[in-house]
Amino acid sequence: MNRIKTWFKNCFAYFVKKPVIASVLLAFILGLGYCFILYIQSRIASGDFKYFIKDFIEIATIGTIAGFFLIYPLILSVINLVILFFPKKRMALIELITLAWGAFCTAIYLPLEDIFFSADWNVQLYNAERHTPIFTQTFPTVITLVCIAAAGYLVLHFVPLKKLPPLVIACSFAALYLGMFTAVLWTIQLWGEWYPILYSANCILVILKLMQYKIGEWADVQQMNLRDCATEQQPIDTAIYSNRFLNACHHFLMNSRHWPIAGLVLALPLLGVLIGILVLFGQQPDAFIKAWTETSDWTLSMQTAPQNLIRDEHYLCTVAAGGHRRIVKPLRMGERHGHAVIVNRQLMIANAFEQLLEERTPRFHRHVRHFYDTYGFPVAKLIRSRYAADAVYFIMKPLEWLFLITLYLFDVKPENRIAVQYLPKRDRVKL
């Protein structure tokens, strides 16, 4: 038991001494261990350990990815939260890693969740895609506020306090407040998306820790200056100005405990100055509010987007819904497998041809269907842009003509068969 306690104490001491290396190792070990446990459970269930060595390489790869992209952000979050309760302790490198790695992971996560920052609320989306959580026309305003907050952070992080005038420190605090306010709105807007929320929460923790540390550091600098003056028997600078207001401001800013209040007071004028500058470059005065409200699908959204259309795994359905209208020429809405799809004539002809095959040559139709299921679905997944859909539309044109000729050769009323494709069942019965 004593050995276990000693081991934990040594691990904790190493973690405090070298937090970056320790956190990286912990993330790697936990990720690898989690994947290894899942692997062992699956193999015990199947009773097959034949390819353990080969599988171990895959486990190590997946475990490393899971460790650094899923577990490491959680470890950094815990460190940032715990260190907040130790005023004299600061892990500056952990803060920088949190901000940089968190931004990178969030930038990867959002597209994977089908969140499109280029699509405003009025843009038609498909399947599970979601509109941008920030109005695209207000990007300059939001980016400016983030950059100002980053500048305030970098000034306080890298420039020694002894070289910074008190007013610059207060302005840096004001910039951090603007960044923190933006992070709070981001958290509210994307409530339910834990990964982006985790990053914004860490940004807030890092800002609070920096403020807390700098307030304590300035108090230590002031005490050191007082000791130096007492040792050298020099008079203490009271900075009594003839102007009472300047004198009061000086004494107010020389007390580091007043910096959060000063930063909060200066945040609004700083925001006003930034908005005034941005208006000169074409931004609206209320752009920061519209950034969150002129959206849909999110907490602060005040707009209603058009309902998402279903882009079917059938790649011709994908072409009809996803290509440029003047090229693929969508005709109407249809129904497939119980959900709405956009149909064009090419899609209707192809489906009518398949229906004819199923009626006249069912055995050959099964082979054609198997071929299509094997190769058609992967092709549909590759169609991720309008230009790709247009290209498939042109490639399918010769086959469309072949299908149409076949329908006119073997069907008494080919246009009737084409017209009823993808209609709801009740409409087909009426026709």
Which of 289, 286, 262, 264 shows the shortest CA–CA distance to 275?
Answer: 286
Whether residue 330 is found in the same domain as residue 398: yes
* pLDDT score, position 165: 83
Please count the other Cβ atoms lying within 10 Å of the Cβ belonging to residue 343.
23
Residue 118 within a domain:
no
Largest Cα–Cα separation, the chain: 113
Whether residue 237 is found in the same domain as residue 261: yes
pLDDT grade for 228, boundaries at 50, 70 and 90: low
Whether residue 156 is found in the same domain as residue 301: yes
Range of the domain at 366: 315-430
Picking from 308, 330, 345, the residue at the C-terminal end of a domain is 308
* pLDDT score, position 424: 75
Q: What is the mean pLDDT of residues 86-106?
A: 88
Whether residue 58 is found in the same domain as residue 189: no
Which of 356, 72, 397, 88 shows the shortest CA–CA distance to 219?
Answer: 88
* pLDDT score, position 431: 62
Picking from 54, 88, 113, the residue at the C-terminal end of a domain is 113
**Can you give the chain as a three-state secondary structure string?**
CHHHHHHHHHHHHHHHHCHHHHHHHHHHHHHHHHHHHHHHHHHHHHCCCCCHHHHHHHHHHHHHHHHHHHHHHHHHHHHHHHHCCCCCCCCHHHHHHHHHHHHHHHHHHHHHCCECCCCCCCCCCECCCECCCCCHHHHHHHHHHHHHHHHHHHHHHHCCHHHCCHHHHHHHHHHHHHHHHHHHHHHHHCCCCHHHHHHHHHHHHHHHHHHHHHHHHHHHHHHHHHHHHHHCCCCCCCCCCCCHHHHHHHHHHHCHHHHHHHHHHHHHHHHHHHHHHHHHCCCCCCHHHHHHHCCCCCCCCCCCCCCCECCCCCHHHHHHHHCCHHHHCEEEEEEECCEEEEEEHHHHHHHHHHHHHHHHCHHHHHHHHHHHHHHHHHHHHHCCCHHHHHHHHHHCHHHHHHHHHHHHHHCCCHHHHHHCCCCCHHHHHHC
* pLDDT score, position 204: 95
* pLDDT score, position 205: 94
Residue 171 within a domain:
yes
- State yes or no: pLDDT of 236 exceeds 50: no
pLDDT grade for 398, boundaries at 50, 70 and 90: confident
pLDDT tens, residue by residue, 347-388:
888 888 888 888 888 888 787 777 776 666 666 666 666 777
Picking from 275, 308, 341, the residue at the C-terminal end of a domain is 308
Whether residue 257 is found in the same domain as residue 384: no
Whether residue 303 is found in the same domain as residue 329: no
Residue 292, CA distances (Å) to 144, 276, 405 in order: 15, 20, 54
* pLDDT score, position 188: 94
Mean pLDDT (the chain, rounded): 81
pLDDT tens, residue by residue, 109-127:
888 888 888 888 888 777 7
Whether residue 294 is found in the same domain as residue 183: yes
- State yes or no: pLDDT of 336 exceeds 90: no
Whether residue 144 is found in the same domain as residue 260: yes
Residue 120 within a domain:
no
pLDDT tens, residue by residue, 245-270:
666 766 677 777 788 888 888 899 99
pLDDT tens, residue by residue, 170-198:
899 999 999 999 999 999 999 988 888 99
Whole-number Å distance between alpha carbons of 306 and 177: 36
Residue 119 within a domain:
no
Whole-number Å distance between alpha carbons of 322 and 388: 9
Whether residue 343 is found in the same domain as residue 404: yes
Top-confidence residue, 427 or 293: 293
Give the number of domains in the chain: 3
Whether residue 55 is found in the same domain as residue 83: yes
pLDDT tens, residue by residue, 25-75:
888 888 888 887 877 777 666 666 555 666 677 777 888 888 888 899 999
pLDDT tens, residue by residue, 319-333:
766 677 788 888 887
Q: What is the mean pLDDT of residues 151-162?
A: 89
Whether residue 168 is found in the same domain as residue 274: yes
Whether residue 264 is found in the same domain as residue 375: no
* pLDDT score, position 64: 84
Residue 9 within a domain:
yes
